[in-house]
Structure 1
Amino acid sequence: MTKMIERMLMHKLLIALCALVLTSVTAPFALAQSCRLGTPGQSVEVAIADTGRPMLMHRPALSDEARTPLPLVVLLHGSGSTGKAMLAESGLARTADAHGFIVAAPDAGIPAGKGFVWNIPGVPTITGKVPGPKDADDVAYLRNVISDLVAKGCVDPTRVYVTGMSGGGRMTSWLGCVLADRIAAIAPVVGLRAGNPWKKDPARPDPASCTPSKPMPVIAFAGDKDTVNPITGGGAGYWHYSMHAAEQRWAQLNHCTHPPTTRWVSATTYEERYTGCRDDSDVVGRIMIGKGHGWDADNDAMWAFLSRYRRAS
């Protein structure tokens, strides 16, 4: 009788343990299917945790709860602009609908005119002012954006990417330096940097100012007639070194071993590419002939590059 009771108790214990294991395994999948932010195919303003800074988010037209979590592209506006304006100018909502990723288009944290500018520590904004300790911490905010959308079951934490134009491109580059633990790849547009200009030699990036914890795949876009952030360097105090110097520095950071190659991808666009990099983290620069300072990006080519990469969660 005692042995029978022991067997019954053991059987119940095994059932309870199996239920516990099953719950722990399926819980993330239940969470992954719980994204209820916005309506597929629409852009809506969403709250981000307790930051007090809402953000515009576009959920792709083909998405539904059964197909979440989705990849995320964080889109950063240029200096003096807004997330809403950047979403419209970039056309990334249409690209997201076609390829099935979420776009997050936040506003920067420092007001400037009718828009905002990003806080890149030690780098002057377009106002000439270097952000101080009382200014909004945009890196912390953007980390919260990623964490909040992951926690709400909307975003795959292994497939988070960042792009941005001009000042947003510089901020994108900075996030590549300091958030490599959360971001799988970056795509700056007319704003590729690899750290601050070196005070000893402003024509080169300061190697101490960008030390990512992991290799960071990079695809950058620019126009050869850009006079705001010229690809040959010069310009404002936050610019100075050339786009080519930035590419070389990212190639060093990614431990790329093959010589760079140049090829024409269309009649008006050529590509500089560094390969043989650690974790296959290529560095690519695409230059458009005759283009100036604007959204000089091929969105489909951008997504084709970004979507190759996943970051370990």
Structure 2
Amino acid sequence: MRLILAALAALLTTLSPTLAAPGCPVTPGTTARVTVGDTGRSVLLHVPVSATREPLPLVFALHGSGGDGSAILAQSKLEMTSDLHGFIVAAPDAGIPVESGFVWNIPGVPTVTGKVPGPGDADDVAFLKTAIDWLAAQGCANPARVYATGLSGGGRMTSWLGCVASDRFAAIAPVVGLRAGNPLARDKARPDPATCMPKRPMPVIAFAGDADGTNPVQGGGAGYWQYTMEAAEARWAALNGCNTGPLRRDLAANLYERLHTQCRAGAEVAAWITRGAGHVWTADNDAMWRFFERYRR
């Protein structure tokens, strides 16, 4: 009888559907909206088709200003990359409503409406940290393997997470949005060192197009932008203690890289610039994941 029961239990285990992890609320290979604990806020969560019961790496995908979580999933195609490489994607809505979408709260920096977030606005950094803890508690996510990427305003928010939440994120990948703190008040062509002081080296891979007129790699633009992308790269390289770079090389006819290496904790700073590309998702998702995969918190 005992042998029969054991065989039955083994059969049921074989036939039962694979879950991302005990309690993870999304079926592998699908995307669903889930409420994060008692925050009253939610994320669109995609669990890869190959998910097992082990906690998986987690990539936050942050939408552009005026967008939402569904928009960034459509623009980035990260759900397909998730299924290919086996990580979870979380696409939240930002905390400040604007028209039909949302904008991120980066303290001291005006949103696209021109308004500087105030004390009554939602704290997006606190929410994202809570989301990490909640997804880890559900058994979905490995808290040592959490990464962030984002488009435009979401790229600037991703950069901000590198500045203020380096203890929670293992690497970041801003897309048309790399910053290294606010523009310096007395010289807007430089980042203000006091506004970006990560606790640990932060690996960075950034993507942009050299024909971007909204967040121009050459600098200028809106008040939240101003200094060049190369100045942002140099600042991250200094924060990470990189000793070599920028090394420049062509990766394709329309693509080149600037790379800082020999950094503390191996935290490289890379920038991939697409010639002729504008204010769009310029990221190579597979290259982004290969970069992320190298780092643990």
1:44 aligned onto 2:32: yes
1:204 aligned onto 2:190: yes
Structure that is richer in helix per residue: 1
Contact (CA 8 Å) 2:28, 2:50: kept in 1 or not?
A: yes
The count of aligned residue pairs is 278
CA distance in 2, matches of 1:259, 1:205: 19
Contact (CA 8 Å) 1:35, 1:69: kept in 2 or not?
A: no
Shift of 1:36: 2.7
Instruction: Please name the residue that 1:253 is paired with.
Output: 239
User: What secondary structure is seen at the aligned counterpart in 2 of 1:74?
Assistant: strand
Contact (CA 8 Å) 1:74, 1:103: kept in 2 or not?
A: yes
The amino acid of 1:138's aligned partner reads: D
Shift of 1:33: 4.1
Instruction: Please name the residue that 1:80 is paired with.
Output: 66
The partner residue of 2:216 within 230, 239, 247 is 230
CA distance in 2, matches of 1:181, 1:54: 23
The amino acid of 1:117's aligned partner reads: V
The partner residue of 1:96 within 82, 94, 103 is 82
What's the TM-score once normalised by structure 2's chain length? 0.92
Contact (CA 8 Å) 2:21, 2:138: kept in 1 or not?
A: no
Instruction: Please name the residue that 1:156 is paired with.
Output: 142
Shift of 1:64: 2.7
The partner residue of 1:107 within 78, 93, 99 is 93
CA distance in 1, matches of 2:179, 2:207: 12
What's the TM-score once normalised by structure 1's chain length? 0.88
The amino acid of 2:219's aligned partner reads: G
The partner residue of 1:263 within 234, 249, 260 is 249
User: What secondary structure is seen at the aligned counterpart in 2 of 1:260?
Assistant: strand
Where do residues 289-304 of structure 1 align in structure 2 (5 Å cutoff)? Answer: 289-304=275-290
Contact (CA 8 Å) 1:188, 1:221: kept in 2 or not?
A: yes
Q: C-alpha deviations, 1:264-310, integer Å up to 9, x for none? A: 11111100000010000000000001100010110000000011000
Shift of 1:35: 3.8
Instruction: Please name the residue that 2:171 is paired with.
Output: 185
Shift of 1:259: 2.9
Shift of 1:54: 1.3
Instruction: Please name the residue that 2:226 is paired with.
Output: 240
Q: C-alpha deviations, 1:12-59, integer Å up to 9, x for none? A: xxxxxxxxxxxxxxxxxxxx9414311111100011011000110000
CA distance in 2, matches of 1:73, 1:266: 27
Q: C-alpha deviations, 1:126-176, integer Å up to 9, x for none? A: 000000000000010011111110111111111000000000000000000
The amino acid of 2:226's aligned partner reads: H
The amino acid of 1:271's aligned partner reads: E
User: What secondary structure is seen at the aligned counterpart in 2 of 1:203?
Assistant: strand
User: What secondary structure is seen at the aligned counterpart in 1 of 2:187?
Assistant: coil
The amino acid of 1:55's aligned partner reads: V
Please provide the CA RMSD for this pair: 0.9
CA distance in 1, matches of 2:235, 2:257: 17
| Identity among equivalent pairs (%) | 63
Contact (CA 8 Å) 1:228, 1:235: kept in 2 or not?
A: yes
Contact (CA 8 Å) 1:124, 1:238: kept in 2 or not?
A: yes
Contact (CA 8 Å) 1:47, 1:53: kept in 2 or not?
A: yes
Q: C-alpha deviations, 1:238-274, integer Å up to 9, x for none? A: 0000000000000000000113200111111100000
Instruction: Please name the residue that 2:52 is paired with.
Output: 64
The amino acid of 2:167's aligned partner reads: D
1:55 aligned onto 2:43: yes
CA distance in 2, matches of 1:93, 1:164: 14
Instruction: Please name the residue that 1:10 is paired with.
Output: none
